[in-house]
Amino acid sequence: MNRTTVRVVVGVLVAIAVLYAPYYFEPVWNRELSRAAYFAIAAMGLNLLTGFNGQISIGHGAFFGVGAFTSAILVDTHGWSFEATIPAAAVLAAVVGVLVGIPALRVKGLHLALVTLGLAVLFPRVGQKYIDGAGGVALVRPKRREFDSLLSFLADDQWQYLETVLIAALLFLLAWNLVRSRVGRAMIAVRDQEVAASTVGINVARVKVGTFALSAAYAGIAGALSVMIDRAADATNPLLAFRNSIEFLVAVVIGGTATITGPAVGALILVLLRRHTDGLIEGKEVLSPAIFGAALITMIYVLPEGIVGGLGKLFGRLFPARAAVPATAGAAGPDPSTTTTTPTEEEP
Protein backbone atom coordinates (compact mmCIF):
# COMPACT_ATOMS: atom_id res chain seq x y z
CA MET A 1 0.00 0.00 0.00
CA ASN A 2 1.55 3.30 -1.08
CA ARG A 3 1.35 6.73 0.53
CA THR A 4 -1.41 8.05 -1.71
CA THR A 5 -3.67 5.08 -1.00
CA VAL A 6 -3.16 5.43 2.75
CA ARG A 7 -3.96 9.15 2.62
CA VAL A 8 -7.13 8.54 0.62
CA VAL A 9 -8.32 5.77 2.96
CA VAL A 10 -7.64 7.84 6.08
CA GLY A 11 -9.31 10.89 4.54
CA VAL A 12 -12.44 8.94 3.62
CA LEU A 13 -12.68 7.38 7.10
CA VAL A 14 -12.28 10.77 8.79
CA ALA A 15 -14.92 12.32 6.51
CA ILE A 16 -17.37 9.52 7.27
CA ALA A 17 -16.77 9.88 11.02
CA VAL A 18 -17.22 13.66 10.90
CA LEU A 19 -20.47 13.43 8.94
CA TYR A 20 -21.88 10.61 11.08
CA ALA A 21 -20.96 12.22 14.42
CA PRO A 22 -24.05 14.47 14.84
CA TYR A 23 -26.36 11.47 14.46
CA TYR A 24 -24.42 9.41 16.98
CA PHE A 25 -23.72 11.88 19.80
CA GLU A 26 -26.09 13.58 22.18
CA PRO A 27 -26.79 17.35 21.73
CA VAL A 28 -24.32 18.30 24.48
CA TRP A 29 -21.49 16.54 22.67
CA ASN A 30 -22.55 17.98 19.32
CA ARG A 31 -22.10 21.44 20.83
CA GLU A 32 -18.65 20.50 22.12
CA LEU A 33 -17.62 19.24 18.69
CA SER A 34 -19.03 22.42 17.14
CA ARG A 35 -16.86 24.43 19.52
CA ALA A 36 -13.86 22.41 18.40
CA ALA A 37 -14.74 23.23 14.78
CA TYR A 38 -14.94 27.00 15.24
CA PHE A 39 -11.88 26.85 17.48
CA ALA A 40 -10.05 25.09 14.64
CA ILE A 41 -10.97 27.92 12.26
CA ALA A 42 -9.48 30.54 14.59
CA ALA A 43 -6.38 28.39 15.13
CA MET A 44 -6.00 27.94 11.35
CA GLY A 45 -6.07 31.72 10.93
CA LEU A 46 -3.34 32.09 13.53
CA ASN A 47 -1.40 29.27 11.87
CA LEU A 48 -1.40 31.16 8.57
CA LEU A 49 0.06 34.18 10.32
CA THR A 50 2.50 32.49 12.70
CA GLY A 51 3.25 29.13 11.14
CA PHE A 52 3.40 30.11 7.47
CA ASN A 53 4.28 33.81 7.65
CA GLY A 54 6.37 33.93 10.84
CA GLN A 55 4.50 36.73 12.67
CA ILE A 56 3.78 35.90 16.30
CA SER A 57 0.39 37.03 17.59
CA ILE A 58 -1.18 36.71 21.03
CA GLY A 59 -4.08 38.98 20.13
CA HIS A 60 -6.38 36.85 18.01
CA GLY A 61 -8.88 36.71 20.83
CA ALA A 62 -9.65 40.35 19.97
CA PHE A 63 -10.40 39.53 16.31
CA PHE A 64 -12.50 36.61 17.53
CA GLY A 65 -14.45 39.03 19.74
CA VAL A 66 -14.93 41.51 16.88
CA GLY A 67 -16.50 38.76 14.79
CA ALA A 68 -18.70 37.58 17.66
CA PHE A 69 -20.08 41.03 18.47
CA THR A 70 -20.57 41.88 14.78
CA SER A 71 -22.71 38.79 14.29
CA ALA A 72 -24.58 39.09 17.60
CA ILE A 73 -25.44 42.78 17.15
CA LEU A 74 -26.55 42.39 13.53
CA VAL A 75 -28.82 39.47 14.49
CA ASP A 76 -30.16 40.90 17.74
CA THR A 77 -30.53 44.57 16.87
CA HIS A 78 -30.78 44.80 13.09
CA GLY A 79 -32.71 41.62 12.33
CA TRP A 80 -30.15 40.00 10.00
CA SER A 81 -30.21 36.27 9.42
CA PHE A 82 -27.27 34.63 11.12
CA GLU A 83 -25.72 33.25 7.93
CA ALA A 84 -25.66 36.76 6.41
CA THR A 85 -23.65 38.07 9.34
CA ILE A 86 -20.72 35.70 8.79
CA PRO A 87 -19.23 37.56 5.79
CA ALA A 88 -19.76 40.86 7.61
CA ALA A 89 -17.90 39.52 10.64
CA ALA A 90 -15.05 38.36 8.41
CA VAL A 91 -14.76 41.72 6.64
CA LEU A 92 -14.84 43.80 9.82
CA ALA A 93 -12.29 41.56 11.55
CA ALA A 94 -10.07 41.78 8.44
CA VAL A 95 -10.27 45.59 8.53
CA VAL A 96 -9.16 45.55 12.17
CA GLY A 97 -6.42 43.12 11.16
CA VAL A 98 -5.14 45.61 8.56
CA LEU A 99 -5.23 48.42 11.13
CA VAL A 100 -3.09 46.28 13.43
CA GLY A 101 -0.92 44.80 10.69
CA ILE A 102 0.29 48.12 9.26
CA PRO A 103 1.93 49.43 12.45
CA ALA A 104 3.08 45.88 13.20
CA LEU A 105 5.41 46.14 10.19
CA ARG A 106 7.82 48.08 12.37
CA VAL A 107 8.18 45.34 14.96
CA LYS A 108 8.74 41.59 14.87
CA GLY A 109 9.31 38.62 17.13
CA LEU A 110 8.63 39.14 20.82
CA HIS A 111 7.92 42.84 20.31
CA LEU A 112 5.07 41.96 17.93
CA ALA A 113 3.79 39.41 20.44
CA LEU A 114 3.67 42.13 23.10
CA VAL A 115 1.81 44.51 20.77
CA THR A 116 -0.84 41.91 19.97
CA LEU A 117 -1.04 40.95 23.64
CA GLY A 118 -1.96 44.56 24.38
CA LEU A 119 -4.73 44.27 21.78
CA ALA A 120 -6.18 41.22 23.54
CA VAL A 121 -6.11 43.00 26.89
CA LEU A 122 -7.58 46.22 25.46
CA PHE A 123 -10.52 44.66 23.60
CA PRO A 124 -12.72 43.86 26.65
CA ARG A 125 -12.21 47.40 27.96
CA VAL A 126 -13.33 48.88 24.66
CA GLY A 127 -16.28 46.48 24.54
CA GLN A 128 -17.39 47.42 28.05
CA LYS A 129 -17.27 51.11 27.14
CA TYR A 130 -19.04 51.10 23.78
CA ILE A 131 -21.25 47.99 23.74
CA ASP A 132 -24.52 48.33 25.63
CA GLY A 133 -26.15 44.93 25.85
CA ALA A 134 -28.99 43.66 28.01
CA GLY A 135 -28.75 45.09 31.50
CA GLY A 136 -26.23 47.71 30.39
CA VAL A 137 -23.32 45.26 30.21
CA ALA A 138 -21.18 44.19 27.24
CA LEU A 139 -23.14 41.00 26.70
CA VAL A 140 -25.34 40.42 23.63
CA ARG A 141 -27.61 37.37 23.58
CA PRO A 142 -29.63 36.89 20.36
CA LYS A 143 -32.88 34.97 20.69
CA ARG A 144 -32.59 31.21 20.46
CA ARG A 145 -34.96 30.96 17.49
CA GLU A 146 -32.49 32.94 15.37
CA PHE A 147 -30.34 29.82 15.18
CA ASP A 148 -33.04 27.23 14.50
CA SER A 149 -32.32 24.57 11.91
CA LEU A 150 -33.07 25.55 8.32
CA LEU A 151 -33.71 21.89 7.44
CA SER A 152 -36.73 20.21 9.01
CA PHE A 153 -35.09 16.76 9.16
CA LEU A 154 -32.17 18.04 11.25
CA ALA A 155 -32.34 18.94 14.94
CA ASP A 156 -30.95 22.34 15.91
CA ASP A 157 -27.74 20.92 17.36
CA GLN A 158 -27.20 18.74 14.28
CA TRP A 159 -27.73 21.66 11.93
CA GLN A 160 -25.37 23.91 13.87
CA TYR A 161 -22.71 21.21 13.94
CA LEU A 162 -22.94 20.52 10.21
CA GLU A 163 -22.97 24.22 9.33
CA THR A 164 -19.90 24.89 11.46
CA VAL A 165 -18.03 21.86 10.12
CA LEU A 166 -18.89 22.73 6.51
CA ILE A 167 -17.59 26.28 6.91
CA ALA A 168 -14.47 24.95 8.63
CA ALA A 169 -13.88 22.47 5.78
CA LEU A 170 -14.19 25.22 3.17
CA LEU A 171 -11.79 27.49 5.04
CA PHE A 172 -9.26 24.69 5.52
CA LEU A 173 -9.50 23.89 1.81
CA LEU A 174 -8.87 27.57 1.08
CA ALA A 175 -5.81 27.52 3.34
CA TRP A 176 -4.54 24.31 1.70
CA ASN A 177 -4.74 25.88 -1.74
CA LEU A 178 -3.33 29.19 -0.54
CA VAL A 179 -0.11 27.81 0.91
CA ARG A 180 0.54 25.95 -2.35
CA SER A 181 -0.05 29.00 -4.49
CA ARG A 182 2.30 31.82 -5.43
CA VAL A 183 0.96 33.86 -2.51
CA GLY A 184 1.64 31.01 -0.10
CA ARG A 185 5.19 30.61 -1.37
CA ALA A 186 5.70 34.32 -0.83
CA MET A 187 4.42 34.00 2.76
CA ILE A 188 6.85 31.18 3.47
CA ALA A 189 9.72 33.05 1.82
CA VAL A 190 9.06 36.08 4.04
CA ARG A 191 9.03 33.81 7.09
CA ASP A 192 12.23 32.00 6.23
CA GLN A 193 14.35 34.83 4.82
CA GLU A 194 12.79 38.26 4.70
CA VAL A 195 15.77 40.04 3.15
CA ALA A 196 16.15 37.43 0.40
CA ALA A 197 12.41 37.58 -0.29
CA SER A 198 12.52 41.35 -0.84
CA THR A 199 15.59 40.91 -3.06
CA VAL A 200 13.72 38.64 -5.48
CA GLY A 201 10.85 41.11 -5.78
CA ILE A 202 8.37 40.05 -3.08
CA ASN A 203 6.52 42.98 -1.52
CA VAL A 204 7.17 42.06 2.11
CA ALA A 205 4.88 44.72 3.57
CA ARG A 206 1.97 43.68 1.37
CA VAL A 207 2.43 40.00 2.21
CA LYS A 208 2.59 40.67 5.96
CA VAL A 209 -0.42 42.98 6.08
CA GLY A 210 -2.44 40.74 3.75
CA THR A 211 -1.69 37.70 5.88
CA PHE A 212 -2.65 39.63 9.01
CA ALA A 213 -5.98 40.58 7.42
CA LEU A 214 -6.72 37.02 6.27
CA SER A 215 -5.76 35.60 9.65
CA ALA A 216 -8.03 38.09 11.41
CA ALA A 217 -10.88 37.22 9.01
CA TYR A 218 -10.59 33.55 9.98
CA ALA A 219 -10.77 34.52 13.66
CA GLY A 220 -13.77 36.78 12.94
CA ILE A 221 -15.66 33.94 11.24
CA ALA A 222 -14.89 31.71 14.22
CA GLY A 223 -16.23 34.40 16.54
CA ALA A 224 -19.46 34.64 14.53
CA LEU A 225 -19.93 30.86 14.68
CA SER A 226 -19.35 30.93 18.43
CA VAL A 227 -22.46 33.09 18.79
CA MET A 228 -24.54 30.35 17.17
CA ILE A 229 -23.06 27.67 19.43
CA ASP A 230 -22.70 29.59 22.71
CA ARG A 231 -25.69 31.94 22.19
CA ALA A 232 -23.79 35.07 23.25
CA ALA A 233 -21.03 37.56 22.55
CA ASP A 234 -19.37 38.41 25.85
CA ALA A 235 -16.90 41.13 26.86
CA THR A 236 -17.76 41.23 30.54
CA ASN A 237 -14.80 39.05 31.47
CA PRO A 238 -11.57 41.07 31.00
CA LEU A 239 -9.52 37.88 30.67
CA LEU A 240 -11.67 36.13 28.07
CA ALA A 241 -10.00 37.57 24.95
CA PHE A 242 -6.56 36.93 26.45
CA ARG A 243 -7.45 33.33 27.32
CA ASN A 244 -8.82 32.70 23.84
CA SER A 245 -5.64 34.13 22.29
CA ILE A 246 -3.45 31.83 24.35
CA GLU A 247 -5.61 28.79 23.61
CA PHE A 248 -5.53 29.46 19.86
CA LEU A 249 -1.74 29.50 20.05
CA VAL A 250 -1.69 26.34 22.16
CA ALA A 251 -3.92 24.57 19.63
CA VAL A 252 -1.54 25.50 16.80
CA VAL A 253 1.55 24.34 18.69
CA ILE A 254 0.00 21.09 19.93
CA GLY A 255 -1.42 20.22 16.54
CA GLY A 256 1.62 21.32 14.54
CA THR A 257 2.64 24.72 13.18
CA ALA A 258 2.83 25.22 9.42
CA THR A 259 0.56 22.22 8.83
CA ILE A 260 -2.99 22.20 7.49
CA THR A 261 -4.58 19.60 9.73
CA GLY A 262 -2.60 20.56 12.85
CA PRO A 263 -4.95 23.35 14.05
CA ALA A 264 -7.97 21.02 13.79
CA VAL A 265 -6.23 18.30 15.81
CA GLY A 266 -5.00 20.80 18.40
CA ALA A 267 -8.44 22.43 18.70
CA LEU A 268 -10.16 19.10 19.26
CA ILE A 269 -7.66 18.11 21.96
CA LEU A 270 -7.98 21.49 23.62
CA VAL A 271 -11.78 21.44 23.72
CA LEU A 272 -11.80 17.88 25.08
CA LEU A 273 -9.28 18.85 27.77
CA ARG A 274 -11.43 21.78 28.79
CA ARG A 275 -14.52 19.57 28.84
CA HIS A 276 -12.91 17.02 31.14
CA THR A 277 -11.12 19.46 33.46
CA ASP A 278 -13.67 22.24 34.05
CA GLY A 279 -15.58 21.63 37.24
CA LEU A 280 -13.35 18.90 38.63
CA ILE A 281 -12.50 21.06 41.60
CA GLU A 282 -13.33 24.53 42.74
CA GLY A 283 -11.19 27.12 41.08
CA LYS A 284 -11.41 25.62 37.60
CA GLU A 285 -10.03 28.86 36.18
CA VAL A 286 -6.70 27.84 37.69
CA LEU A 287 -6.86 24.14 36.84
CA SER A 288 -7.57 24.35 33.11
CA PRO A 289 -4.74 26.74 32.18
CA ALA A 290 -2.36 24.62 34.25
CA ILE A 291 -3.30 21.50 32.27
CA PHE A 292 -3.10 23.41 29.00
CA GLY A 293 0.37 24.63 29.95
CA ALA A 294 1.49 21.15 30.97
CA ALA A 295 0.15 19.71 27.70
CA LEU A 296 1.97 22.39 25.72
CA ILE A 297 5.29 21.76 27.47
CA THR A 298 4.90 18.00 27.06
CA MET A 299 4.10 18.30 23.36
CA ILE A 300 7.03 20.61 22.73
CA TYR A 301 9.37 18.23 24.53
CA VAL A 302 8.07 14.96 23.08
CA LEU A 303 6.88 16.20 19.67
CA PRO A 304 8.63 19.48 18.81
CA GLU A 305 6.77 19.60 15.48
CA GLY A 306 3.36 18.90 17.05
CA ILE A 307 1.11 15.85 16.77
CA VAL A 308 0.67 16.13 13.01
CA GLY A 309 4.38 16.71 12.48
CA GLY A 310 5.23 13.69 14.63
CA LEU A 311 2.69 11.49 12.85
CA GLY A 312 4.08 12.73 9.55
CA LYS A 313 7.55 11.49 10.50
CA LEU A 314 6.12 8.14 11.61
CA PHE A 315 4.16 7.89 8.37
CA GLY A 316 7.33 8.60 6.41
CA ARG A 317 9.13 5.75 8.17
CA LEU A 318 6.28 3.27 7.70
CA PHE A 319 5.72 4.24 4.07
CA PRO A 320 9.01 5.53 2.68
CA ALA A 321 8.86 7.34 -0.62
CA ARG A 322 10.08 5.27 -3.52
CA ALA A 323 13.14 6.57 -5.28
CA ALA A 324 12.50 7.63 -8.84
CA VAL A 325 13.99 5.26 -11.45
CA PRO A 326 15.75 7.18 -14.24
CA ALA A 327 13.99 6.56 -17.52
CA THR A 328 17.18 6.11 -19.56
CA ALA A 329 18.42 3.37 -21.85
CA GLY A 330 21.16 2.46 -19.43
CA ALA A 331 19.00 2.48 -16.30
CA ALA A 332 19.31 -1.27 -15.88
CA GLY A 333 23.11 -1.07 -15.70
CA PRO A 334 26.02 -0.71 -18.11
CA ASP A 335 26.46 -3.07 -21.04
CA PRO A 336 29.50 -5.28 -20.23
CA SER A 337 30.48 -5.39 -23.90
CA THR A 338 30.92 -1.66 -24.02
CA THR A 339 32.49 -1.13 -20.62
CA THR A 340 35.93 0.43 -20.68
CA THR A 341 38.50 0.57 -17.94
CA THR A 342 40.47 3.57 -16.95
CA PRO A 343 44.22 2.92 -17.03
CA THR A 344 45.97 3.00 -13.71
CA GLU A 345 49.54 3.80 -12.90
CA GLU A 346 50.43 0.04 -12.88
CA GLU A 347 49.06 -0.51 -16.36
CA PRO A 348 51.49 0.02 -19.29
Q: CB pairs under 8 A, 24+ apart, for 311-316?
A: 312/256, 312/259, 315/3, 315/6
| Residue 231 placed within a domain | yes
| Residue 199 placed within a domain | yes
| Residue 98 placed within a domain | yes
| Structure confidence by residue, pLDDT tens digits, 288-298 | 567 666 766 77
Whether pTM > 0.85 for this model: the answer is yes
| Residue 165 placed within a domain | yes
* Sequence-ordered list of residues with C-beta below 8 angstroms from that of 79, at least 6 positions apart, any chain: none
Task: Judge contact between 258 and 123, C-beta under 8 A.
Answer: no
Identify which has the larger pLDDT, 320 or 343.
Answer: 320
| Residue 97 placed within a domain | yes
Alpha-carbon distance of 95 to 116, in angstroms, equals: 15
Domain containing residue 206: 18-237
Task: Judge contact between 204 and 192, C-beta under 8 A.
Answer: no
Task: Tell me 17's DSSP state.
Answer: H
pLDDT mean over 127-140: 83
Other CB atoms within a 10 A radius of the CB of residue 125 amount to 13
pLDDT mean over 162-177: 97
pLDDT mean over 196-205: 94
Domain total in the chain: 1
| Residue 196 placed within a domain | yes
pLDDT mean over 35-59: 95
Look at strands 139-140 and 233-234 and give their pairing: antiparallel
* Three-state DSSP state, 234: strand
| Residue 115 placed within a domain | yes
The pLDDT > 90 percentage for the chain reads 57
Ranges 141-145, 169-173, 247-251, 313-317, most confident: 169-173
| Residue 289 placed within a domain | no
Q: How far is CA 156 from each of CA 5, 107, 153, 165, 336, rounded to the nearest angstrom?
A: 36, 45, 10, 14, 76
